[in-house]
């Protein structure tokens, strides 16, 4: 389902998320992958041309000089979170992971 670029970005992002803390767990669902500790803090929704990353943090708490984040607080989506980031280019991966 994922293109090669999206797959390599997912693998790098996945490794980074899982290494944040030993309590982080990964759960695969039909439409998304959830990363949790006591609750979901990141959901990744694989799409044809990008990874849609949902962050369970208030939009106002995000520092995003590039303007890549979108406030999805009142939108219904697959996955959880108040902030959405689209990842379609490998060069944006390091920025997203900071």
Q: Provide the pLDDT for residue 14.
A: 96
Read off φ and ψ for residue 8, nearest 5 degrees. Answer: -65, -40
Structural domain for 70, as ranges: 4-97
Q: Provide the pLDDT for residue 16.
A: 95
- Return per-residue pLDDT of the chain as tens, 98 residues: 567 767 888 999 999 999 999 999 999 999 899 999 999 999 999 988 889 999 999 999 999 999 999 999 888 766 678 999 999 888 899 998 87
Q: Count structural domains, the chain.
A: 1
Q: How deeply is 74 buried, as exposed, middle or buried, from its count of CB atoms within 10 A (0-12, 13-18, 19+)?
A: exposed
- Pick from 13, 20, 51, 57: nearest CA to 39: 57
């Amino acid at each position: 389902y994922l293109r090669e670029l999206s797959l390599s970005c997912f693998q790098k992002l996945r490794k980074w998320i899982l290494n944040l803390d030993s309590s982080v767990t990964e759960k695969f669902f039909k439409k998304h992958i959830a990363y949790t500790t006591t609750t979901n803090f990141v959901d990744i929704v694989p799409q044809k041309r990008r990874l849609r990353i949902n962050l369970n943090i208030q939009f106002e708490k995000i520092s995003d000089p590039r303007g890549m984040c979108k406030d999805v607080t009142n939108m219904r989506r697959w996955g959880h979170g108040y902030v959405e980031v689209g990842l379609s280019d490998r060069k944006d991966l390091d920025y997203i992971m900071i």
